[in-house]
Amino acid sequence: MRVSDLEAPQELVDAWKRDLTDLTAVQTAAAEAGILTGRRNMLVVAPTSSGKTLIGEMAAAQIAMTGQRHVFVSVPMKSLAEEHYFRLRERYGDLMNVVISTGDKLEHDEDIRHGYFDLAVLTYEKLAALIVQVPGLLTRCGCVVIDEGQMIADKQRGTDLEVLVTEILLAPSKPRLIVLSASLDELNRLDKWLNAQVVMNSERPVPLNQAVCSAQSGIALVLKANGERVQAEMAEPCADTEMLAVRLALKHAEAGRQVVVFRTAVSKTRSMAHMLAGQRTARGVRVSLNELLLALEDADVVKELADLFASGVAFHNADLSADERRGADSRFDDYARHGCEYACGRGYRCGCGATGSGSGWQLETGANCGRGVSQLRRPRRAAESSDRRPRDSACSRRFAPSSTIPALPAGSCRTHREPDSEGAVTRSCVPAACGPGCKK
């Protein structure tokens, strides 16, 4: 199925067509099952990199834009929430008001409490907390998308996610619930509990070959995507697994592939990044990257990143400030459109990441080696909230009436969108709610 065939407002279809033309198998199955046209809860189960996230995103954007209701997208990690937020804001910022709320990102909390948003990205714990703090939060909610739904089986956080989903299922307003999960061995009646239609697909668009390699011999046992098991020589014998990871990363990078190295400890990641950069030829820093570096305030950080970027190496972890993570992520946008969903910089052949710091890097033509990344922190200022819109000019915000939420002043605008650069108005005013502040 092609994106142009989807039953959605043309503005959304145009936004989706900027990044893709054809849908994957699971996306096609979800579209045929009514992800955009139905109202029933849905459980989507598919392998990593199959396109599950876009399924939830499409449903969320559709309801936020046409359903006159708010939408929540909930994810397990802060860094993943920021990744989703910046992507959604870039894609739909002209069509709807996208906000974020995590333990570190508090600038939109009041907007969420008062209903001045269309689509909100939150971590599991933050959404659960806000539901308790604002009993009417789900009253005007049209849909909740739960990403990484397999986390419900996690020993540490599974119980919290189960409580959150239960609160959504028991809400009197009955918002639509869409759960996106990686492959499960069995559903174990999860679909029955969610009262959800199941869309399941085991096809992996990007073939996955797995290997376990011995540092002492350099010989690996490889499990191919077709199930075949073979032995192969992958590297020269090494003294330890860290050097093996370096050699494997360099081998794949020199072959023109993108490589991600994961480490279990943040403290080890900087050294890994510098080890990789030290064995690669420095080719300089492009103008766009130079501008990004100049925007950072820490001179030591700028010098370190410049040295690594020049050698085509980057790093990413939760210790990076939001601006540093966003800057690193934005450099990989071109790679993201070709299969790398989460990476550190456009054109970098080697990247290092700490486990638990992000969404998992998904490569179309690349390799994952080892475990780990680097540490980088810049003091945050309380005044850093550049993307928050002034409250008194919220002409693009929507109000969610609730007994616990104060009413809008007479004449405040509910759904009006200001004209774009070509003079087109993407939304119309609600006459009963239009007044001061509205430019309609």
Instruction: Residue 287: name the closest of 309, 316, 320 by CA.
Output: 309
- Distance, CA of 129 to CA of 248 (rounded, Å): 44
The domains of the chain are located at 3-200, 208-237, 242-369
pLDDT of residue 297: 73
Strands (E), 376-438: none
Tokens 């986390």, located at residue: 151
- Please list, in sequence order, all residues whose beta carbon lies within 8 angstroms of the beta carbon of residue 426, skipping any fewer than 6 positions away: 11, 94, 95, 417, 420
- Please list, in sequence order, all residues whose beta carbon lies within 8 angstroms of the beta carbon of residue 400, skipping any fewer than 6 positions away: 70, 114, 115, 136, 137, 139, 140, 141
First to last CA, the chain: 38
pLDDT of residue 147: 95
Residue 4 vs residues 8, 15, 17, 19, 63: alpha-carbon distances, Å: 9, 11, 7, 12, 18
Give me 176's structure tokens.
């639509």
- Distance, CA of 261 to CA of 265 (rounded, Å): 12
- Are the C-beta atoms of residues 197 and 33 closer than 8 Å to each other? yes
- Angle, in degrees to the nearest 10, between helices 299-310 and 269-278: 50
Average pLDDT value for residue range 2-20: 91
Average pLDDT value for residue range 131-159: 92
Give me 72's structure tokens.
């929540």
Lowest mean pLDDT among 60-64, 157-161, 405-409: 405-409
Interval 270-322: pLDDT, tens:
888 888 988 888 877 777 777 777 777 777 777 887 888 888 888 877 676 76
| Domain covering 242-369 in this structure, CATH number | 3.40.50.300
Give me 419's structure tokens.
């004209």
pLDDT of residue 318: 66
With a cut of 60, say whether residue 435 has pLDDT above it.
no
100: confidence class by pLDDT, cuts 50, 70, 90: very high
Domains 3-200 and 242-369 equal at CATH topology level: yes
Q: Select 3-200's CATH number: 3.40.50.970, 3.40.50.300, 3.60.21.10, 3.30.70.20.
A: 3.40.50.300
- Distance, CA of 415 to CA of 430 (rounded, Å): 7
Return phi, psi of residue 390, to 5°.
-60, 140
Tokens 């305030």, located at residue: 297
Residue 304 vs residues 90, 270, 300: alpha-carbon distances, Å: 29, 10, 6
Interval 53-86: pLDDT, tens:
999 999 999 999 887 789 999 999 888 898 899 8
- Please list, in sequence order, all residues whose beta carbon lies within 8 angstroms of the beta carbon of residue 297, skipping any fewer than 6 positions away: 378
387: confidence class by pLDDT, cuts 50, 70, 90: very low
pLDDT of residue 41: 96
